[in-house]
Amino acid sequence: MKKAERINDMILFLADKSSFNLKELMERYNISKSTALRDIQSLEEIGLPLYSELGRYGKYQLLDTRIVAPGLFTEGEIYALYFALLTLKGYRSTPFNMESSTLELKYSHVLPEKLRQQLLLMRKIITLEEVNHSNVSLHLKEIVQGILLEKVFTIDYIKNQEQVSIKAQFVQLSSKFGQWYARIWNVETKKIRVIRCDKIKALEEENDEESLSLELLLKKTETFYQREELISFSIKVTEKGKDLFFKENYPSMKIEASGKDYVITGSYHFNEEEFIANYLLRFGQSILKIEPIQLKEYVTKKVYKLADYWDRL
């Protein structure tokens, strides 16, 4: 067995132990005392917290905060990584090729038995909220790679129930309530826009199209909206509306108390009116007032259209 393989196996072998001695290592790995001492030194150099006691075969104690494989994480870090992994279950799509259940299985196989049992117990006593959308985003991995490699794509996606094509460069990928969004730089309009990733039907790389640096595009995202005319809105809601807001809201929005009621404020682009109106429909009768008047009229038209649709069923 090569030294690197032996050291990795030692980390797993020692993970459940509070102490060990050189004789155990010598017998398990069929190595000399001097080799065992050198291996101990290597373990200390890569971060395994040990302290030695005098004796013929050199007894060693492992601290309670000992480091465990893989990657020499502390137990606290292993717990944090494990529950971060479980949150992936809240997404129908991720930018990775591996399902969280497969990753979880592989993850548990490299941990010592004691730690595995503790993770299983913690999973039973801690419940994580999951937001599962039926919307599947098929191109998340390509989007991430496109951002990092500064690629330009022809993007085919659904807009207002029609398929359109644009040339664009992906800038950022984000998620909100289980839904994935991509911020893009439209090559033709020279504007930053946000599209839903599940609406993307096809991507084709444009090798002949000159791209902008990611650093430049990130700077544009910080200042672009500041240069465009925004429409401010103010929505007065009840206590129930406040609860609905905290269940789902967006970075451009905030809420403040106003007497016994609450006011949601924010801004949107003129071409985002459909999105804002659909969002406000979820509040139903918890809305007390809508400003500006054109937004109220737009929401009202959607309500009448919905009512007409139900009448015709």
Quick check: is 134 in a domain? no
Per the structure, the count of domains in the chain is 4
Query: Picking from 41-45, 76-80, 244-248, which range would have the lowest pLDDT averaged per residue?
Result: 76-80
- What's the confidence (pLDDT) of residue 148? 92
Q: Report the Cα 21 to chain-centroid distance in Å.
A: 43
Quick check: is 77 in a domain? yes
Quick check: is 259 in a domain? yes
Quick check: is 55 in a domain? yes
SS3 for 26? Answer: helix
Residue at which a domain ends, from 52, 68, 84: 68
Residue for token digits 């020499």?
Answer: 72
Range of the domain at 171: 140-227
- pTM score over 0.75: no
Quick check: is 86 in a domain? yes
223 and 237 assigned to the same domain: no
Quick check: is 261 in a domain? yes
Q: How many residues does the chain have?
A: 313
Is pLDDT of 69 > 60? Answer: no
Between CA 9 and CA 27 the distance in angstroms is: 14
31-47 in b/e form (b: 16+ CB < 10 A) is beeebbeebbeebeeee
88 and 28 assigned to the same domain: no
Question: pLDDT tens across 272-294, in order?
Answer: 888 899 999 999 999 999 999 99
98 and 156 assigned to the same domain: no
Mean pLDDT score, 298-305: 93
Question: pLDDT tens across 221-242, in order?
Answer: 877 655 557 889 999 999 999 9
Quick check: is 130 in a domain? no
Between CA 213 and CA 217 the distance in angstroms is: 6
Residue at which a domain ends, from 41, 68, 95: 68
Quick check: is 269 in a domain? yes
Long-range CB contact pairs, 248-254, < 8 A, 24+: 248/176, 248/177, 248/279, 248/282, 250/176, 250/279
- What's the confidence (pLDDT) of residue 252? 80
